[in-house]
């Protein structure tokens, strides 16, 4: 008999049992009989999770008295190990395994071989199905597969809520599914609570056994066709089409998508009686197991690609498409994801999205900047996140301290609520600083402006009491649009921003797309050979070549600012001529409007971001051209340290408070002093208290920062004496202390300045 025929026979018998009117315990008793007989095994047992322990629910071959008596903790013995690792074990000699534990009540001493598979429900092992044999032999692949298929059937039984209670499966029960605290890197500080929502929701398989094999076969054929089309189309998309590494990934995807072996194995599983969904999952389980055995890191990497593809196929076949954003958030949510793009984050309902936890992430990645602008706390760099926090878990996110607790106990919730209330009180205190002008103790007025980019940010300006918008990231409008925003749409946004700002200045930065701000509608060819997008064809480089883009933006800005002051800032200027070329585009548009007798801006000031270190070396030539200069420390530090700002592995490696950065900034401050050019900072660095202190000590008098930081930074400004601070900074620069951060913090603490 072929393997498929044997599997089908088992499935048919299981089908009969499942469809019978038997009570759940009766069904389990039958299942163990069927498996023991079909696999010619002396023992077959089912353990299920009850009150956090794996309890023997049914057995054929072990002592009947052990049923509902033998209980193992997760991680205990072979059964507990299988559940803990959610992994299959196949051992010729069970006793030789380091985790083996003997339970006398079961009478299992005479059995040598052992094979067990986890019963998985909602990605969590809720039980174990195992077989044992007197002879020391390894079970064959087809036998293991039969066990795995049976485990899927049992999981369907569980999902029908007959065997273990839903609460337990969802991880709300005590013991192994009790509270779990995770820690990571605080990317956007703040507190939040809500229900865990996966950005890519897990796919639930509702039916394991096929009613009509032909129908399932057709479903899987159609899904394969669709998936292959999607993969072929990926090459037309910017996110995939930038050559190098991406091309390799794409090639691997194509290889898997067209792999005959893969589709054949899925078909065989359908032949054996599984639904299309169960067959895909079944084959995936088998592949996972094989890959683990091979233990080759390169192959493990490929396994991620295959997992991704199998998920895609599952999504198509089950019709469970889209991210959690497209399905809509139903209540206060904490979003769980590996990583996100800024545009993906912006798709979420801001009223319900309370926090984000990522497996990756870094402080200055644009998705984090967007989250900061949205006021959504983010915890990043959490290892194994999706294994610990399950969909539907209640989560307390404490991004101030870099932790989160899933499934917290009531006293923890109460303590969190108290802190939450205190933090709200603090926010209220900062809100009161709204109308207070930030003068230092020695009487110097510091300009505290805010960064913005979203339409909603406009309403924040009066609320936080910033001196204006020191950086308006115009590309955010491009990121949230499905197509390139036309001039008219740009004009409306800029006009509304200027209307809302009233007398306060708004510095519009021309589009900075490319890098980690890829636009799906800019085609692949545009980014050809950009293996290193942050240093590639982005920002002004792109805008100058795509003249139409800058022209449209120039016109929209000039028209929006009719009769008022306009501040224009160019990003990523590396050499002075780039600034000249960009300004020339504005001059042309201005001349055109003048000819048409349109109302022109009352005054136009041009400036540039200083974020490419090369520009700092030619400030003597550059300063006479501009009226202001804004240091973009996000990009500047990535270029100074040659450390990709979006690379999570480098997220904690270099400190803004390093002598290299501080000395560099000091040189810029000195070179600019007395030139008549306004100097400011608009990178994330300026919004952090210790860093802001350092910047003031270096001579910076204008900070443009994330809106939530305006209050805290104003508070700091009011506590310092600049002469004292500058003197201290001079000392730190000439003889850098071993730990600059600690030294500055100590200086602040001695003066009662809060820097956390
Ligand atoms: C910067 O680079 O510091 C900056 C403010 O610009 P962005 O983060 O948008 O690149
Ligand atoms: Mg930048």
Pick from 70-74, 263-267, 289-293, 453-457: least confident? 289-293
| CA–CA gap between residue 109 and residue 95 (Å, rounded) | 9
CA–CA distances in Å: residue 527 to residues 4, 366, 646, 718: 48, 19, 18, 47
More confident residue, 172 or 608: 608
Q: pLDDT band for 172, please (50, 70, 90 cuts).
A: very low
Ligand 1, atom 6: nearest CA belongs to which residue?
Answer: 632
The candidate with the shortest Cα–Cα distance to 79, out of 20, 32, 130, 22, is 130
What digits encode the pLDDT tens for the residues 66-87?
Answer: 999 999 998 999 999 999 888 8
CA dihedral for 283, 288, 291, 293, sign (positive or negative): negative
- For the chain, the first-to-last Cα distance in angstroms comes to 70
The candidate with the shortest Cα–Cα distance to 630, out of 677, 664, 663, is 677
Q: Residue 242 pLDDT > 70, yes or no?
A: no
| CA–CA gap between residue 424 and residue 393 (Å, rounded) | 24
**In this prediction, what percent of the chain has a pLDDT beyond 90?**
54
Pick from 68-72, 363-367, 571-575: least confident? 363-367
Ligand 1 binding pocket, CB closer than 6 Å: 369, 471, 473, 512, 611, 632-635, 682-683
pLDDT computed for residue 541 by the predictor = 86
Pick from 283-287, 580-584, 654-658: least confident? 283-287
Question: Range(s) for CATH 1.10.274.10 in the chain?
Answer: 213-318
pTM: 0.63
Please give the average per-residue pLDDT across 474-482, as a whole number: 82
Ligand 1 pocket: which of 449, 634, 687, 705 to mutate (most atoms within 8 A of CB): 634
- Check: CB of residue 606 under 8 Å from CB of residue 645: no
**In this prediction, what percent of the chain has a pLDDT beyond 70?**
90
Ligand 1, atom 3: nearest CA belongs to which residue?
Answer: 632
CA contacts within 13 A on the Cβ side of 459:
3
- Contacts of 70-73 with CB under 8 Å at 24 or more apart are 70/103, 70/105, 70/106, 72/47, 72/101, 73/175, 73/176
Q: pLDDT band for 167, please (50, 70, 90 cuts).
A: low
Q: Do strands 469-473 and 447-452 pair parallel, antiparallel, or not at all (unpaired)? A: parallel
Q: What average pLDDT does the chain have? A: 87
Whose tokens are 């109308």? That residue is 435
Ligand 1 pocket: which of 454, 474, 512 to mutate (most atoms within 8 A of CB): 512
What is the number of the ligand closest to the CA of 572?
Answer: 2
pLDDT computed for residue 235 by the predictor = 57
More confident residue, 1 or 688: 688
Torsion angle of C-alpha atoms 212, 215, 219, 220, degrees rounded to 10: 60
Structure tokens, 322: 């889209």
The residues, any chain, with a CB within 8 Å of residue 77's CB and separated by 6 or more, are 99, 100, 101, 103
Ligand 1 pocket: which of 362, 364, 687 to mutate (most atoms within 8 A of CB): 364
CA–CA distances in Å: residue 1 to residues 4, 9, 137, 139, 547: 8, 10, 21, 17, 70
Tell me how many degrees the CA angle 466-456-446 measures, rounded to the nearest 5.
10
The candidate with the shortest Cα–Cα distance to 114, out of 68, 85, 147, 149, is 147
- Check: CB of residue 683 under 8 Å from CB of residue 636: yes
Tell me how many degrees the CA angle 671-676-682 measures, rounded to the nearest 5.
70
Q: pLDDT band for 246, please (50, 70, 90 cuts).
A: very low
Q: pLDDT band for 243, please (50, 70, 90 cuts).
A: very low
What digits encode the pLDDT tens for the residues 80-113?
Answer: 999 988 888 999 999 999 999 888 888 888 899 9
Among 56-70, 239-253, 611-625, top mean pLDDT goes to: 611-625
Helices and strands (H, E) in the chain, number of each type: 29, 22
Ligand 1, atom 1: nearest CA belongs to which residue?
Answer: 632
Alpha-carbon 472 to chain mean position: 24
pLDDT computed for residue 529 by the predictor = 61
Among 47-51, 208-212, 303-307, 587-591, top mean pLDDT goes to: 587-591
Q: pLDDT band for 175, please (50, 70, 90 cuts).
A: very low
Strand, helix or coil for residue 702 = strand
Residues in the chain: 756
Structure tokens, 667: 């040189």
More confident residue, 368 or 737: 737
Structure tokens, 372: 């900061």
Pick from 133-137, 201-205, 242-246, 295-299: least confident? 242-246
Please give the average per-residue pLDDT across 615-632, as a whole number: 98
The residues, any chain, with a CB within 8 Å of residue 703's CB and separated by 6 or more, are 446, 447, 448, 449, 470, 680, 681, 686, 687, 692, 695, 713
Q: pLDDT band for 218, please (50, 70, 90 cuts).
A: very high
More confident residue, 676 or 18: 676
| CA–CA gap between residue 651 and residue 646 (Å, rounded) | 8
| CA–CA gap between residue 165 and residue 167 (Å, rounded) | 5
Q: Residue 174 pLDDT > 50, yes or no?
A: no
Give the distance (Å) from ligand 1 centre to CA of residue 373.
13
Q: Do strands 394-398 and 191-198 pair parallel, antiparallel, or not at all (unpaired)? A: antiparallel
Whose tokens are 């209980």? That residue is 71
Pick from 242-246, 286-290, 511-515, 681-685: least confident? 242-246
Q: Residue 251 pLDDT > 70, yes or no?
A: yes
Q: Residue 193 pLDDT > 50, yes or no?
A: yes
Q: pLDDT band for 247, please (50, 70, 90 cuts).
A: low
| CA–CA gap between residue 652 and residue 713 (Å, rounded) | 23
Q: How many CB atoms within 10 Å of residue 650?
A: 15
More confident residue, 646 or 666: 666
Q: pLDDT band for 171, please (50, 70, 90 cuts).
A: very low
Question: Range(s) for CATH 3.30.450.40 in the chain?
Answer: 3-170
Tell me how many degrees the CA angle 395-398-400 measures, rounded to the nearest 5.
165
Tell me how many degrees the CA angle 239-240-246 measures, rounded to the nearest 5.
125
Q: pLDDT band for 123, please (50, 70, 90 cuts).
A: low
Please give the average per-residue pLDDT across 333-353, as a whole number: 86
Q: Residue 699 pLDDT > 70, yes or no?
A: yes
pLDDT computed for residue 362 by the predictor = 81
**Alpha helices, H only, 45-193:** 77-85, 141-159, 166-169
What is the number of the ligand closest to the CA of 634?
Answer: 1
Q: Residue 176 pLDDT > 90, yes or no?
A: no
- What is the second-level CATH architecture of the domain 436-750? Alpha-Beta Barrel (3.20)
Give the distance (Å) from ligand 2 centre to CA of residue 533.
13
More confident residue, 396 or 248: 396
More confident residue, 383 or 735: 735
Structure tokens, 331: 């209540």
Q: From start to end of 311-410, where are the E strands?
A: 333-337, 353-358, 378-380, 394-398, 403-406
The candidate with the shortest Cα–Cα distance to 365, out of 343, 397, 337, 342, is 342
Structure tokens, 661: 């950065």
Q: pLDDT band for 300, please (50, 70, 90 cuts).
A: low
- Check: CB of residue 648 under 8 Å from CB of residue 362: yes
CA contacts within 13 A on the Cβ side of 630:
33
| CA–CA gap between residue 125 and residue 15 (Å, rounded) | 22
pLDDT computed for residue 499 by the predictor = 94
Q: Residue 236 pLDDT > 80, yes or no?
A: no
Question: Range(s) for CATH 3.50.30.10 in the chain?
Answer: 181-201+324-425
Whose tokens are 């066709």? That residue is 225
The secondary structure element, H or E, covering residue 249 is: helix 245-257
pLDDT computed for residue 240 by the predictor = 37
Q: Residue 51 pLDDT > 60, yes or no?
A: yes
Q: How many CB atoms within 10 Å of residue 712?
A: 23
pLDDT computed for residue 161 by the predictor = 54
Sheet containing 333-337, strands listed edge to edge, beginning at the edge strand earlier in sequence: 180-183, 403-406, 394-398, 191-198, 333-337, 353-358, 378-380, 185-188
pLDDT computed for residue 1 by the predictor = 59
pLDDT computed for residue 244 by the predictor = 44
- Check: CB of residue 460 under 8 Å from CB of residue 440: no
CATH of 181-201+324-425, one of 3.50.30.10, 1.20.120.80, 3.40.190.10, 3.40.50.300: 3.50.30.10
CATH of 213-318, one of 3.40.50.12780, 1.10.10.10, 3.30.1300.10, 1.10.274.10: 1.10.274.10
Whose tokens are 């973009």? That residue is 632
Structure tokens, 57: 């629910």
Q: pLDDT band for 398, please (50, 70, 90 cuts).
A: very high
Q: Do strands 447-452 and 702-705 pair parallel, antiparallel, or not at all (unpaired)? A: parallel
| CA–CA gap between residue 585 and residue 625 (Å, rounded) | 15
What is the number of the ligand closest to the CA of 453?
Answer: 1
Q: Residue 702 pLDDT > 60, yes or no?
A: yes
**Which atom, in ligand 1's list, is nearest to the CA of 630?**
5
Ligand 1, atom 8: nearest CA belongs to which residue?
Answer: 634
Alpha-carbon 14 to chain mean position: 41
pLDDT computed for residue 304 by the predictor = 60
Q: Residue 450 pLDDT > 90, yes or no?
A: yes
Please give the average per-residue pLDDT across 590-594, as a whole number: 97
**Which atom, in ligand 1's list, is nearest to the CA of 682?**
5
Q: Residue 308 pLDDT > 80, yes or no?
A: no
- Check: CB of residue 155 under 8 Å from CB of residue 120: yes
3-170 in CATH: which number? Answer: 3.30.450.40
The candidate with the shortest Cα–Cα distance to 695, out of 674, 671, 716, is 716
**Which atom, in ligand 1's list, is nearest to the CA of 611?**
2
Q: Residue 347 pLDDT > 90, yes or no?
A: no
| CA–CA gap between residue 89 and residue 144 (Å, rounded) | 9
Q: pLDDT band for 241, please (50, 70, 90 cuts).
A: very low
Give the distance (Å) from ligand 1 centre to CA of residue 446.
21
């Amino acid at each position: 008999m072929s393997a498929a025929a044997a599997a089908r026979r088992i499935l048919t018998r299981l089908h009969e049992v499942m469809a019978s009117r038997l009570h759940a315990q009766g069904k389990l008793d039958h299942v163990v009989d069927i498996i023991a007989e079909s696999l010619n095994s002396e023992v077959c047992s089912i353990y299920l999770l009850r009150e956090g322990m794996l309890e023997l629910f049914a057995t054929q071959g072990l002592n009947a008295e052990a049923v509902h008596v033998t209980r193992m903790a997760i991680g205990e013995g072979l059964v507990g190990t299988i559940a803990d690792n959610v992994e299959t074990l196949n051992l010729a000699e069970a006793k030789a395994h380091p985790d083996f534990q003997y339970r006398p009540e079961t009478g299992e001493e005479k059995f040598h071989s052992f094979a067990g598979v986890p019963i998985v429900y909602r990605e969590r092992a809720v039980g174990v199905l195992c077989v044992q044999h007197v002879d020391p032999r390894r079970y064959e692949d087809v036998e293991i597969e039969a066990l795995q298929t049976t485990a899927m059937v049992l999981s369907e039984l569980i999902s029908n809520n007959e065997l273990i209670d839903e609460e337990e499966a969802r991880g709300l029960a005590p013991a192994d599914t009790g509270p779990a605290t995770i820690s990571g890197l605080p990317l956007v500080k703040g507190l939040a609570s809500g229900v865990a929502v996966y950005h890519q929701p897990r796919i639930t398989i509702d039916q394991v056994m096929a009613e009509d094999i032909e129908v399932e076969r057709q479903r899987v054929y159609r899904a394969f066709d669709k998936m292959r089309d999607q993969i072929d189309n990926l090459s037309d998309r910017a996110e995939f089409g930038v050559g190098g590494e991406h091309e390799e990934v794409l090639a691997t995807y194509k290889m898997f998508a067209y792999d005959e072996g893969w589709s054949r194995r899925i078909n065989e599983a359908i032949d054996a009686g599984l639904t299309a969904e169960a067959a895909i999952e079944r084959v995936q389980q088998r592949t996972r197991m094989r890959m683990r055995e091979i233990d080759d890191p390169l192959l493990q990497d490929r396994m991620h690609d295959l997992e991704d593809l199998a998920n895609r196929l599952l999504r198509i076949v089950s019709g469970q498409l889209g991210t959690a954003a497209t399905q809509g958030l139903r209540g206060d949510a904490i979003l769980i994801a590996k990583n996100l793009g800024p545009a993906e984050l912006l798709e979420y309902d801001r009223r319900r999205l309370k926090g984000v936890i990522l497996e990756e992430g870094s402080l200055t990645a644009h998705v984090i900047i967007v989250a900061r602008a949205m006021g959504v706390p983010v915890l990043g760099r959490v290892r194994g996140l999706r294994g610990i926090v399950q969909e539907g878990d209640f989560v307390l996110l404490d991004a101030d301290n870099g932790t989160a607790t899933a499934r917290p106990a009531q006293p923890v919730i109460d303590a969190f609520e108290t802190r939450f209330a205190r933090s709200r009180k603090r926010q209220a205190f900062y809100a009161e600083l709204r109308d207070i002008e930030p003068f230092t103790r020695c009487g110097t007025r510091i300009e505290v402006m805010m960064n913005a980019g979203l339409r909603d940010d406009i309403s924040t300006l009066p609320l936080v009491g910033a001196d204006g918008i020191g950086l308006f990231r115009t590309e955010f409008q491009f990121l949230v649009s499905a197509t390139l925003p036309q001039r008219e749409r740009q004009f409306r946004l800029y006009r509304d921003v200027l209307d809302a700002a009233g007398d306060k200045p708004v510095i519009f930065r021309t589009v900075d797309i490319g890098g980690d701000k890829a636009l799906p509608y800019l085609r692949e060819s545009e980014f050809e050979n950009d293996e290193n997008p942050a240093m590639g064809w982005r920002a002004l480089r792109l805008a100058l070549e795509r003249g139409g883009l800058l022209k449209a933006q120039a016109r929209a800005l000039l028209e929006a600012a009719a009769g008022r002051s306009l501040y224009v800032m160019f990003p990523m200027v590396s050499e002075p001529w780039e600034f000249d070329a960009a300004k020339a585009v504005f001059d042309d548009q201005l001349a055109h409007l003048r000819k048409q007798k349109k109302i022109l801006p009352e005054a136009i000031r041009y400036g540039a971001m200083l974020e490419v270190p090369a520009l700092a070396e030619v400030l003597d030539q550059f300063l006479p051209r501009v009226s202001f200069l804004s240091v973009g420390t996000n990009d500047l530090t990535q270029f100074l340290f040659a450390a990709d700002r979006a690379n999570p592995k480098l997220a904690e490696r270099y400190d803004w408070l390093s002598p290299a950065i501080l000395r560099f900034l000091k040189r810029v401050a000195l070179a600019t002093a007395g030139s008549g050019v306004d100097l400011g900072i608009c990178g994330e660095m300026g919004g952090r208290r210790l860093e802001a202190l350092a910047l003031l000590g270096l001579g910076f008098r204008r900070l443009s920062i994330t809106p939530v930081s305006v209050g805290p930074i104003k508070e700091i400004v009011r506590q310092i004496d600049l002469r004292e601070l500058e003197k201290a900074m001079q000392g730190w620069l000439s003889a850098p202390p071993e730990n600059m951060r600690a030294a500055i913090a100590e200086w602040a603490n001695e003066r009662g300045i809060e820097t956390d």
